[in-house]
Chain A
Amino acid sequence: MTELELALVALGQDVEVPAAPDLTPAVLARIEPRPMPRPRRRWAVVVAFAALATLTATLAIPEARSALLRILHIGAERIELVDELPEVTLQHDLEFVLGERVTLEEARRRAGFALRELDEPSDRVYLGDKGTVWFLYGTPERVRLLVAQTPRLRLASDLILKKLVGPQTRIEPVAVDGSPGFFLDGEPHLVLLLDESGQVVEESARLARNVLVWESGGVTYRLEGDFDKEEALRLARSLG
């Protein structure tokens, strides 16, 4: 260590920090009991969602916010239509939500599936939950475009990505090179990460902008940014 570094360590020891209060009772009072994992049920849920996906993919959505169509599912995503978005603590640190920052080479190596990339190289790459690979264009503070790819196999994990969509968000079924998908726009919607008991893993909650989501070859793709449907579809088709 240099002299300056030694001085900083010493300074750190002398900086006056108030005594830490015992927060244990307060923390324990705020946590909810959590059921133990039940793997068998998880598979049942996955199968049920897959069946629902088949059903919904064949239907036209527009005005239909009927009971039948309140939950849509595509690939690793579950889209739930609600009358009012719940109040949750939004996570503003996007990097925290996306996961571990990695190099492109590392992402390619660790993804476990063939990544599809736009011609324009992304500014950052992250490896997130369920093996999702994120390409971020811009900076975490000013995102121009997010491209996410989640392998379907990872659905066996105990987390579910859920979008909560309010009445002001439009959902339109689309096809990307023959693969079924949805385009969401109008109003931002909530993106939540749920554990298998349905509890929100809170720090993942954030607001998403316009989104195109589709599944192809066992991978769920998501594009998120300030684009219209045509631009989103153009970007989707240009994924190499």
Chain B
Amino acid sequence: MEGRPPDDIALAERARLGDERAFEELVRTYQGIAFRTAYLLTGSSADAEEAVQTGFVKAWSGLRRFRPGAPFKPWLLRIVANEAHNRRRSARRRAELELRAAAAHPSGDAAPSPEGAALGREHRAELLAAVNRLDDRDRDVLTCRYFLELSEEETASVLGVRRGTVKSRTARALARLREAVTSD
């Protein structure tokens, strides 16, 4: 999947057998992406922090169920995403993410990337508002695929669905988003 598997496989196996130091290393390695995932799903820093902490604690307990040799990141992110969803549900639709786009790139920065140029054409603020208006299911799959840049397989694992479902949900979500943007 990604660049870390050999290390991760060994660390996860040691952690599975009860090695806390190995687990600590996994926490250090993945807390960043775990936090970003939880934040994008909840829109709340405090909820994201709690989701990540609880997610790691559950991962430690659940490592017994972890299949040796399996990729650790999507397995962990699924637990964290699940925690984030629980918090989002309990907050009763505070899930309406209030993501704010970062300030525009100051002048003098390197030339915009092709993606940046594309974004310029699509009007970033408008696109973000449209993403925010999508329902949870659409937004979650887009968050995983494009904001977190997870593969289809990783997204399937994180969302607990089949890869084919990720494909179809992504296509539907993109269609809805396109419609929302063009009709604005």
A contacts, CB < 8 Å to B: 2-18, 20-24, 26-28, 30-31, 33-37, 89, 91-93, 95-96, 101, 129, 158-159, 193, 195-196, 199-203
Contacts and interface: CB of A to CB of B under 8 A. Distances in A.
24 contacts: A4-B178, A7-B121, A8-B142, A10-B119, A11-B128, A12-B143, A12-B148, A13-B115, A16-B100, A17-B35, A20-B31, A21-B49, A22-B31, A23-B52, A31-B23, A89-B54, A91-B82, A92-B89, A101-B162, A193-B65, A195-B64, A201-B62, A202-B57, A202-B61
Contacts, number: 157
**8 A-B pairs closest in CB distance:** A12-B147, A8-B146, A20-B35, A10-B115, A10-B119, A7-B122, A6-B118, A195-B64
A23 B56 contact: yes
B27 A10 contact: no
A18 B43 CA distance: 10
Contact of B27 (A14, A24, A159): A24
Interface string B119-160: 101101001100100000000001101111100000000001
Nearest to B105: A14
Q: Give the interface size bracket for B toward A.
A: 35 or more
A195 B177 CA distance: 44
B1 interface: no
B99 A15 contact: yes
Contacts of B142: 8
B38 to A, nearest CB: 9
B73 interface: no
A20 B27 contact: no
Say what secondary structure dominates the interface of chain A. mixed
Contacts of A16: 99-102
A24 B24 contact: yes
A8 B79 contact: no
Contacts of A24: 24, 27-28, 31
Given A36-B18, A96-B160, A202-B57, 17 more contacts: A2-B174, A5-B174, A6-B114, A7-B121, A8-B146, A8-B147, A9-B146, A11-B147, A12-B147, A14-B102, A16-B100, A23-B31, A23-B53, A28-B27, A92-B89, A93-B85, A96-B78
Interface string B90-123: 0000000001111000000000011110110110
A6 B119 contact: yes
B118 A3 contact: yes
Q: Which among B34, B124, B148 has the greatest number of chain A C-beta atoms within 10 A?
A: B124
